[in-house]
Every structure is written in C-alpha cells, then in structure tokens.
Amino acid sequence: MTDFSATIAFGLIRRLAAAGTDTPSLYLLISDTGATRAIEADIAAEVQVQLGLGLRSLVAAEMRLDRLEEAFKRDPDRPVTLITLDHWLPKLVTALDRNVVSLTRGGAVLLLANQAIAERLLSAAPNLRNRLSDVLTIRPDEAFGGPMA
C-alpha cells in the first residue's frame, strides 16, 4: 500500500477547523489495530478542545443498514462523525459507497480503519474513494513524543 502522510488527532482536527465543520469532508484514517482506542480518545478530546463540540462516534459492527439515515443525519452539536471500521463488512461498505453524498452532507466524516480494511475499502468503494478529502496514517499522540491522551 502507498505510504500516506502521517498525522495525529491534533493536526487532523486543525484541518477540520480551518475548513469549517459545516464543510462536507471525508477522511480515511489508517491506524495500527492496537492503537484504535487511543486514537478514538485523542480525536474526541481534540474535537472537544479545538472545536468546542462533541464527536459522534459509530462502530461499523454496530451500524444497521436499515438505519443508515441516523448516521447521515446532521447534528449541529456533533458535526464531526467518526466511524470506526472495526470489521470488514462488505454490505456496509457498499451502502456507504452508494450514499456517500448523504454521508458527508452532515459535515466532516472520519473513517478509521486498520491497513487491511483500508485497502479493501479503497478498492471496493470507488464513489467513496473519489470523495475522500485525504487518506492519512494516524497515530496516537504519544507516538510523536507528545503527552499521552
């Protein structure tokens, strides 16, 4: 897989702040599987501190295909949505790919996946791939020598 630019939650949320949380944006964040929880916590903390807003967090394994409109719904108090792709779910990926415009209508969407799932997502979801604002490798803050989140 291609080497993508590396970031931490602080830098990612600065990007979102500069673009504005109302701007439709879609990021694919690639992490080590063992770092997922720390990265989720870092992102939630940075959204709270930098944007003064809440983060809407969804886990792919818990998302229901018949209720995707809930994931797409705009929430002004939580305009940033983090979807953790914890399992490869081809039906969910197809649904997200088919409805990518509705997905990003609510603001910024962050897809967090390990490398294997990210590779499959990029090849299986051409509409989603074409709408990506960026693909980044993300690490917990302490991986760059900063304080632990």
Q: Please, is 141 exposed, middle or buried when counting C-beta atoms within 10 Å of its C-beta (0-12, 13-18, 19+)?
A: buried
Q: What is the mean pLDDT of residues 69-78?
A: 76
Single pTM value for the model: 0.90
pLDDT at 106: 74
pLDDT, tens digit, 9 for 90 and up, residues 104-124: 887 899 999 999 999 999 999
Residue 100 domain-assigned (yes or no): yes
- Residue 44: give its domain's CATH number: 3.40.50.300
Number of domains in the chain: 1
Contact 46, 12 (CB under 8 A): yes
Residue type, 79: P
Cα within 13 Å of Cα(1), Cβ side: 17
Residue 55 has pLDDT above 90, yes or no: yes
Which of 118, 120, 123 has the alpha carbon at shortest distance from 135?
Answer: 118
Range(s) of the domain holding residue 103: 6-143
Least confident range of 52-56, 65-69, 110-114? 65-69
Residue 149 domain-assigned (yes or no): no
